[in-house]
Structures are given as structure tokens and as C-alpha cells.
Amino acid sequence: MHAEDRHQAILRRLRERGSLRVTDFAEELKVSAVTVRRDVEALAERGLVARVHGGALLPETAPPSPSVSGAPLVFGLVVPAADYYYPEVIKGAREAAAARGIRLVLGISQYRPEEERAQVRQLLSHGIDGLLIAPCGPPGHQDWLAALGVPFTLVERRSGDDVPGAERVVTDHAYGARLAVRHLARTGRERIGLLLRADSPHSALVKEGYLGGLASLGLPAPESLRFTITAPEADPMRRDAQLDEFTGAVGAGLLDAVLVHNDHDAIVLLPRLRARGLSVPGDLAIVAYDDEVAALADIPLTAVAPPKRAVGVAAVDLLALRVGDPGRARHHLSILPDLNVRASSVR
């Protein structure tokens, strides 16, 4: 069980019963008492629990500080979609907001910048105290956020470095790609390719990590091993040609492993490879990126799993601290992903 999962379990128990004993809860979670004690200390530092001898209690008042009117804080959360990647981010944000007594209001931009701004305007008209947002516009086009008049935190976006007042919580996608490359190399693969979704805001970082991973291992990284694929709704004919180009390269023996961003495209590859008489993992080892549905493929795929829920939790916490102390130093938080290994796709 990951630390954030344990933290949420502790908070749920405290909401249900008002208190817990460290030793009893550690036995229930099947972890050491030291681990639970550290979890309690971490939650206490965030103001979410009160430490007592041998256990924890809910604090008398919910952090953070209330708004000027004395009413509970209201945060807006605007994300591009609620059907892929972001559901776990939303879940984490919702749980963290509930733990702090904050009301969370959701907006969906549908990857349309004009809709994003409309959602933000509507939230502002309702009187939000802070904004969590995963902007869908191109990098460098978020300066408008600085004029909103409320604190804001970027979620899974690094383009806010030059936006006045911006804070952010992100996944270290370059680290995740390096994890994948090293795993493939440990299984004896030496011709490791990359298949990237062209429209993803994370593609550049995945590519950076992929190249860095190969360089650290002394493996070749020719452009002939790097492929780009369009979204299915953007240009179906072009996408088919790109998939054919990739499977042709596998058939020609140019690569024996690949990191595919994202899960959907990794799963789509499987029947196309079979149609060419190619097997996974025999002819091609695959690691998917996102781990949304990779485990559901007919050959369950090893996948890099961004800490989406933890990103949502950390984003709410960061914004709450900003609202409570507007003069505190700005923070950019980067959280490491995991690699979920499923032996069927990599041997």
C-alpha cells in the first residue's frame, strides 16, 4: 500500500471513529507501527490530524483557515476530461478537500481553451477562493491565469514557470520513462523504441526520459526507433499509416522493445502485430505509459503508473497552504511514478 493510500485510510478511520491507535491500525494494514507513526506525523504536519500518545485524533477545527466571510473555502478544479487520466486526480483532490472541510467544484474544458476560460469565469462568478487547473492550451499561453485575482495551482503542467504567482504539482514523467527503459534493458532488450501520442502534453517529457534512459545505459537512440502517432479522431487514415510503419519496423527487426505512450495505443498495437505474425513479448516487449487500462489488455501490459491520486491530494494541500499564507514561498512539486510489472508483456 502506497503512503498516500495509507494516509487516506487513516483519515477515513478518524472520520468514522474520531481516533485511532497506531499499533492496532498498523496490524490492520499489515505494516509496521513505525510506518503508521510516520504517516501520522506527515498528516499532522499538514494539519489534518492531531497526534496524541500512541495514536491520532481529528483536529478540533478543519484546516486550513476559513475564508474572510467565515464560510468554508471553495476551490475550483478545471481539467480537460473526466474519462481518461484525470478521474484519479479528481478523486485525490476530492478526498483531500473533504479532509480539510473545503468544497470542491469541478469544471471540464474538453481540451478546448475557450471552454476552459468560460469554465474558469463561471467558477469565479460563484466566488471560489482558489483554482486548481490543468490548462489545455499550448505551453506559454497561461499568463491569463495571473490576472484572475485568486491563488491558483497548475496540475500536471510545467508551463507555468513564467506565469506570475504560479505553483504546480506534477508527475515526473521523464523519470517514469527512464524506469521503463531500464526495465526493458534489464530483460536483455537493446533496440528499444518509442511510440508517442502526438497530442499529449506529456510527450516531450516522456521523450526526454526515454533518451536519457538510453544514454545512461549506453544504448543507441537513432531517430529510426522513434515514432509518433496521431489521435484516432484527428486523422484516422494517417494514424493507420503510422501504425503500419511501426509494425513494419518491428517486422524488419529494427526494434525488439518499445515504450508506448499511451495505454490505448499500446493495446491497439497487439492485434496489428499478430496480423504480421509477430508476438508479444517474443518479437516485441511492450511497456505502456499511463496504466489506465494496460492491465486489461488480452496480454496484460507492464506500464508506468503516474501517481494521479497523489497529484490531486498534493494540489489541494498546496493551494490550501497558499490561501492560508499568501506570502509563503512558491512551490513546484514533482511526484515520482511507479512501474507496474506484468510479466506477460516483457520477459
pTM: 0.79
Task: Quote the pLDDT of residue 62.
Answer: 40
Q: Is the peptide bond before 281 cis (omega within 30 degrees of 0)?
A: yes
Amino acid at 67: S
Task: Quote the pLDDT of residue 205.
Answer: 93
Beta bridge partners of 108: 79
Written as nine digits, the cell of 11 is 483519515
Please list the ranges in the chain whose pLDDT falls under 70: 60-70, 139-140, 159-162, 345-347
Buried b (16+ CB within 10 A) or exposed e, 171-189: bbbbbbbbbbbebbbeeeb
The number of angstroms, rounded, from the C-alpha of 49 to the middle of its chain's C-alpha atoms is: 26
Written as nine digits, the cell of 172 is 515526473
Candidates 124, 102, 148, 149; CA nearest to 315 is 102
Task: Quote the pLDDT of residue 347.
Answer: 65
Largest CA distance in the chain: 68
The answer to whether the CB of 246 falls within 8 A of the CB of 275 is no
Task: Quote the pLDDT of residue 67.
Answer: 47
The answer to whether the CB of 153 falls within 8 A of the CB of 168 is yes
The number of angstroms, rounded, from the C-alpha of 131 to the middle of its chain's C-alpha atoms is: 18
Q: Quick: pLDDT tens for 94-134.
A: 999 998 899 999 999 988 999 999 999 999 988 999 999 99
